[in-house]
């Protein structure tokens, strides 16, 4: 077993890449997380797992949790009202089961995942359609899903004048659509961890301050109404470039969420490169340091049960098209690079798990 040192110390070593490779070969993120009672997982799509067996082996070796990146979004699962297509989700769930990994489902209710037909329904039918969707999909995986991202990105942004985002879900399924979705999910599978997932909660920025406050109010309301919500999913799309970060604000927020009796899941961790670093080593260090300072706070919180990265390797990442580098270099936002070699981000995750208190 190797000894995990500080991230800064590690990066100062010579031949850091070779050492990382050696360490990653000796142990896995799933083992390091598991030693602390945590799950480590990644989002994925079944076509990549089928087409790229080397990558598939890496996923199974490093991850104890597998979640869909897109496959279980509403528009793919129920492309026509009442017609369900589970083949993509089933492929992921089977991959996970065969490799002793947990499977997490989602996203059930997300305005960007809606099928076109939803928006032409009259309000009473829209709510019934949403409840039916949640019931059928969660029911299909009953007893097999560790967790569900039940509602995603429901919170409005600062200055929008309302707590909830103005979406077809709010307009058609009604202001209690979140509550209805969670109640349907709990009935369909009482054993799954039901997650409310949202973003822009991580930094010391006015927007994130606003959203932490608003989300706490929303969670307080839901818990007060005994809505069967089990966890907050904090997406954790981080970025380099010295974005203001406050350990105490983040910790205060996580404490308040825990005090409501909720678990916390880091649900979509990755790091967009927004800094001025130019060499691969400097870029990797910046990404790793961002993960390091973030997880140092997050993993102190005992109610955090899982860390999921949004992908595992730079070979397959939404950031390559969504946040490409201006110099044309391929992004490096995850624990493995495009050649499936561990990056400094792998070491940052390993270090964070190793120093986390057990839960
Ligand atoms: O599958 C089609 C393909 O048939 C078609 O040829 C191609 C042409 O553009 O599009 C493919 O679909 C793309 C899909 O990803 C699968 O790769 C969509 O265009 C593209 O918009 C979609 O992007 C996804 C995005 O959500 C929007 O749904 C990203 O992969 C996915 O990583 C991203 O994930 C979201 C989370 O679900 C919620 N939180 C934020 C996160 C980032 O936006």
CATH (domain of 146): 3.20.20.80
Q: How confident is the model at residue 82 (pLDDT cuts 50, 70, 90)?
A: very high
Q: Does ligand 1 lie within 6 Å of residue 202's CB atom?
A: no
Q: Which atom belonging to ligand 1 lies closest to the Cα atom of 311?
A: 32
Whether the bond into 107 is cis, omega within 30 of 0: yes
Q: What pLDDT score does 309 carry? A: 99
Q: Each residue of 172-188: pLDDT tens digit?
A: 999 999 999 999 999 99
Q: Which residue has the higher pLDDT, 258 or 17?
A: 258
Ligand 1 centroid vs 103 CA: distance in angstroms? 20
H helix and E strand count, the chain: 15, 9
Q: What is the per-residue pLDDT for 3?
A: 38
Determine the distance separating the centroid of ligand 1 and the alpha carbon of 11, expressed in angstroms: 34
pLDDT of residue 24: 73
Q: Which residue has the tokens 């050492």?
A: 19
Distance 42 CA to ligand 1 centre (A): 16
Is the pLDDT assigned to residue 112 strictly greater than 70?
Answer: yes
Q: In b/e form, how buried is each residue of 12-44, taking b as 16+ CB within 10 angstroms?
A: eeeebbeebeebbeebbbbbbbeebebbbbbbb
Model confidence over 300-316: pLDDT tens digits? 999 999 999 999 999 99
In the predicted structure, residue 11 carries a pLDDT above the cut 60: no
The protein residue whose alpha carbon is closest to atom 29 in ligand 1 is 318
Q: Is the CB of 112 under 6 A from ligand 1?
A: yes
279: Cβ–Cβ under 8 A, 6 or more apart, which residues? none
47 lines ligand 1 (CB under 6 A): no
- Ligand 1 pocket mutation pick from 42, 88, 115, 318 by most atoms within 8 angstroms of CB: 318
Short-list 343, 348, 258, 247, CA closest to 307: 348
Q: Which residues contact 145 (CB under 8 A, 6 or more apart)?
A: 93, 103, 104, 105, 138, 189, 192
CA atoms lying within 13 Å on the CB side of residue 217: 10
Supply the DSSP symbol for 182: H
- Residue pair 118/172 in contact (Cβ under 8 Å)? The answer is yes
End-to-end CA distance of the chain: 21
241 — alpha (psi -120 to 50), left (phi > 0) or beta? Answer: left
Range of the structural domain that residue 121 is part of: 7-330+339-355
Q: What is the distance, to the nearest Å, from the Cα of residue 196 to the centroid of all Cα atoms in its chain?
A: 11
With respect to residue 123, please indicate whether it lies within any of the assigned structural domains.
yes
Domain count, the chain: 1
C-alpha span between 217 and 5 (Å, rounded):
39
Does residue 76 have its Cβ closer than 6 Å to ligand 1?
Answer: no
Interval 25-66: pLDDT, tens: 789 999 999 999 999 999 999 999 999 999 999 999 999 999
User: What is the model's pLDDT at position 26?
Assistant: 86
Q: Where are the beta strands (DSSP E) in 121-174?
A: 147-152
Quote the CA–CA distance of 56 and 67 in Å, as a whole number.
14
Residue 94 CB contacts under 8 Å (≥ 6 apart), including other chains:
none
DSSP state string for 225-293: TT----EEEE--EEE-S-----HHHHHHHHHHHHHTT-EEEEEEEEEE--S---SHHHHHHHHHHHHHH
Tokens of 313: 């390797």
Q: Is the shortest distance between the CB of 268 and ligand 1 below 6 Å?
A: yes
Distance 106 CA to ligand 1 centre (A): 14
Q: List % helix, strand, coil for the chain (3-state, nearest 5).
A: 45, 15, 40
**3-state SS assignment for residue 10:** helix
Mutate which of 46, 69, 85 for ligand 1 pocket (most atoms within 8 A of beta carbon): 69
- Average confidence score pLDDT of the chain: 94
275 occurs within a structural domain:
yes
Please indicate, yes or no, if residue 78 is contained in any of the structural domains: yes
Nearest atom in ligand 1 to 43's CA: 32
Q: Indicate the pLDDT class of residue 21, thresholds 50, 70 and 90.
A: low
Query: Is the CB of 235 within 6 Å of ligand 1?
Result: yes
Residue 2: inside a domain: no
Q: Which two tokens stand for residue 140?
A: 């299909």
CA of 114 to the centre of ligand 1 (A): 13
Closest CA to 59 of 351, 354, 308: 308
Q: Which atom of ligand 1 is nearest to the CA of 107?
A: 37
The residue contributing the CA closest to ligand 1 atom 36 is 69
Q: Find out whether the beta carbon of 70 lies less than 6 Å from any atom of ligand 1.
A: yes
> Per-residue pLDDT tens for 113-162?
999 999 999 988 999 999 999 999 999 999 999 999 999 999 999 999 89
Q: With a 6 A CB cut-off, is 317 part of the ligand 1 pocket?
A: no
Strand bridging mode 193-198 / 102-105: unpaired
Per-residue confidence (pLDDT) for residue 25, from 0 to 100: 72
pLDDT category at 12 given cuts 50, 70, 90 is very low
Residue 288 forms part of a structural domain: yes
- For the chain, what percent of residues have pLDDT higher than 90? 91
Average pLDDT over residues 106-115: 98
Residue 203 has pLDDT above 50, yes or no: yes
**What spacing in Å lies between the alpha carbon of 77 and ligand 1's midpoint?**
15
Q: Is residue 1 part of a domain?
A: no
Ligand 1 within 6 A of CB of 220: no
Mean pLDDT of the 5-13 span: 46
In a domain, 247, yes or no: yes
Residues 76-105, mean pLDDT to the nearest whole number:
98
Lowest-confidence pick of 8-17, 150-159, 194-203, 299-308:
8-17
In this model, does residue 17 exceed pLDDT 70? no
Mind listing the pLDDT tens digit for each residue in 234-255? Answer: 999 999 999 999 999 999 999 9
Q: How far is the CA of 69 from the centre of ligand 1 (A)?
A: 8
Distance of CA 234 to the CA centre of its chain: 7
pLDDT of residue 16: 58
Residue 5 banded pLDDT, cuts 50, 70, 90: very low
- Cα–Cα distance for residue pair 228/138, rounded to 1 Å: 14
Q: Per-residue confidence at 10, pLDDT binned at 50, 70, 90?
A: very low
* Ligand 1 centroid distance, CA of 322 (Å): 10
């Amino acid at each position: 077993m190797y000894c995990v040192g500080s991230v800064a110390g590690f990066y100062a070593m010579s031949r850091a890449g070779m050492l990382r490779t050696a360490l990653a070969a000796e142990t896995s993120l799933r083992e390091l997380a598991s030693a602390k009672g945590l799950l480590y997982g990644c989002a994925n799509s079944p076509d990549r797992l089928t087409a790229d067996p080397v990558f598939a082996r890496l996923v199974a070796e490093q991850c104890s949790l597998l979640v869909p990146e897109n496959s279980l979004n509403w528009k793919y699962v129920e492309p026509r009202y009442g017609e369900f297509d589970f083949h993509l989700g089933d492929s992921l769930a089977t991959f996970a089961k065969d490799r002793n990994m947990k499977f997490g489902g989602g996203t059930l209710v997300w305005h960007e995942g809606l099928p076109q037909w939803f928006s032409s329904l009259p309000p009473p039918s829209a709510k019934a359609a949403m409840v039916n969707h949640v019931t059928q999909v969660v029911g299909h995986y009953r007893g097999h899903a560790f967790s569900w991202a039940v509602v995603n990105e429901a919170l409005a942004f600062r200055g929008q004048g309302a707590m909830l985002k103005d979406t077809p879900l709010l307009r058609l399924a009604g202001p209690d659509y979140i509550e209805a979705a969670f109640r349907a999910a709990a009935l369909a599978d009482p054993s799954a961890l039901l997650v409310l997932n949202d973003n822009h909660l991580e930094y010391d920025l006015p927007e994130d301050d606003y959203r932490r406050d608003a989300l706490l109010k929303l969670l307080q309301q839901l818990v007060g109404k005994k809505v069967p919500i089990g966890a907050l999913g904090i997406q954790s799309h981080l970025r380099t470039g010295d974005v203001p970060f406050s350990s105490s604000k983040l910790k205060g927020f996580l404490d308040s969420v825990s005090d409501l009796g909720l678990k916390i899941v880091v649900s979509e961790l990755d790091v967009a490169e927004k800094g001025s670093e130019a060499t691969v080593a400097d870029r990797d260090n910046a990404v790793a340091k961002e993960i390091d300072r973030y997880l140092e706070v997050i993993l102190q919180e005992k109610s955090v049960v899982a860390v999921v990265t949004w992908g595992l390797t730079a070979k397959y990442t939404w950031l390559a098209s969504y946040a490409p580098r201006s110099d044309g270099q391929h992004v490096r936002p995850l624990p493995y690079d495009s050649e499936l070699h561990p990056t400094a981000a792998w070491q940052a995750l390993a270090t964070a798990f190793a120093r986390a208190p057990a839960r």
